[in-house]
Amino acid sequence: MSKEMLADLTQPQRDRLAFVELRVRFIGEIRRQDLVSRFGIQSAAATRDLALYKDLAAGNIDYDAKGKSYVLGADFQPVFDFPPERVLSWLTQGFGDGEPVRLKAWVASESPSRLTHPDLDVLASVTRAIHQECALDIEYHSISSGQSEREVVPFALIDNGLRWHVRAFDRQSQEFRDFVITRIRRPVLLKGMPVLPHEASDQDIQWTRILELDLVPHPDQPHPEISEMDYSMERGMLKMKLRAAMAGYILRKWSVDCSPTHKLNGPEHRLWLRNHLALYGVRSAVLAPGYESPEPVEPEQDCD
């Protein structure tokens, strides 16, 4: 599809075609009803949009008569140049799926950007595997064990504040682990291989376990009332509920002192985890600042 062809379309048409591409690339399929529900158009208009995309981007989508849906074509080449931030916002928060044009900001602002972004083709394979509930064959580069071939069953994306991970069952180790998406190469969906019951997300204890953490102003930092204001505390405490698999990442991102005796005195440690024993048995707790496990805990591979 040339830029000239796109320019001849109306903005609403381009937005709908961009949505078609996002659905097919990252979810693996799209139906007319998806367009009808998203844009409030008639079924006939949705049919025309799908036909238009197929005509202008030959090879990007194929019709699956059995599933009555359009699926990713074998010769897919992206038409729209979506920034990774937009894609991840759409995947995880459900917005930002219009044509990726640069919009004028209403107010001046600055925000820190990530040092790295996942490759969108790799991310697309991961998210299609999640949506279609199938395994994924990958080449993975681990800090601890180097390069290896793995079969994983992914089920959720994780943002640790610095980089994106995927939570998955690893058939090699027979454990649920986090895999850094930028370390994945050559992903291939294994559609013909069934996912076994013990590989499902509801069997991941670290994922299903919900922690209740009590964060308070750090006892050794001045002006605790400021921390109460900054973190919207009630009665001097911020109660958080986190998945065990996420706890270490979040506590590190917030620089929460998780030591029993609040021994971390740096100015970045504005908060202290008062009920530090809540992290007992949490594998990601090795990432929490100052955490002292009562017994050795083996961290998950590439848990960083």
Alpha-carbon gap, residue 280 to 142, rounded angstroms: 26
Mean pLDDT of 26-33: 96
List the CATH code of the domain at 3-80: 1.10.10.10
Domain spans in the chain, listed from the N-terminal domain onward = 3-80, 120-200, 209-287
Alpha-carbon gap, residue 274 to 256, rounded angstroms: 10
pLDDT digits over 270-297, tens only?
Answer: 999 999 999 999 999 999 999 998 776 5
Whether the full predicted model's pTM is greater than 0.85, yes or no, is yes
Angle between helices 120-132 and 84-93 (to 10 degrees): 10
Position 158 scores a pLDDT of: 94
**How far is C-alpha 65 from the geometric centre of its chain's CA atoms?**
31
Position 232 scores a pLDDT of: 94
pLDDT digits over 85-126, tens only?
Answer: 889 989 988 888 888 876 666 577 666 666 788 999 999 999
Residue 5's pLDDT band (boundaries 50, 70, 90)? confident
Phi, psi of 141 (to 5 degrees): -110, 105
Give the least confident one: 23-37, 94-108, 120-134: 94-108
**How far is C-alpha 55 from the geometric centre of its chain's CA atoms?**
32
Is the Cα torsion angle 162, 168, 171, 174 positive or negative in sign? Answer: positive
Q: Is the pLDDT assigned to residue 3 strictly greater than 80?
A: no
pLDDT digits over 191-242, tens only?
Answer: 988 899 999 999 999 999 999 999 999 999 999 999 999 999 999 999 999 9
Residue 300's pLDDT band (boundaries 50, 70, 90)? low
What residues contact 125, with CB distance under 8 A and at least 6 apart?
Answer: 136, 187, 188, 189
Position 133 scores a pLDDT of: 95
Alpha-carbon gap, residue 178 to 181, rounded angstroms: 9
Q: Is the pLDDT assigned to residue 246 strictly greater than 80?
A: yes
Residue 298's pLDDT band (boundaries 50, 70, 90)? low
pLDDT digits over 155-178, tens only?
Answer: 999 998 888 999 999 999 999 999
Position 58 scores a pLDDT of: 87
Alpha-carbon gap, residue 168 to 179, rounded angstroms: 7
In the structure encoding, which two tokens stand for residue 196, read together?
Answer: 């076994």
In the CATH hierarchy, which top-level class contains the domain 120-200?
A: mainly beta
Position 303 scores a pLDDT of: 56
Position 301 scores a pLDDT of: 53
What residues contact 196, with CB distance under 8 A and at least 6 apart?
Answer: none
Q: Is the pLDDT assigned to residue 130 strictly greater than 90?
A: yes
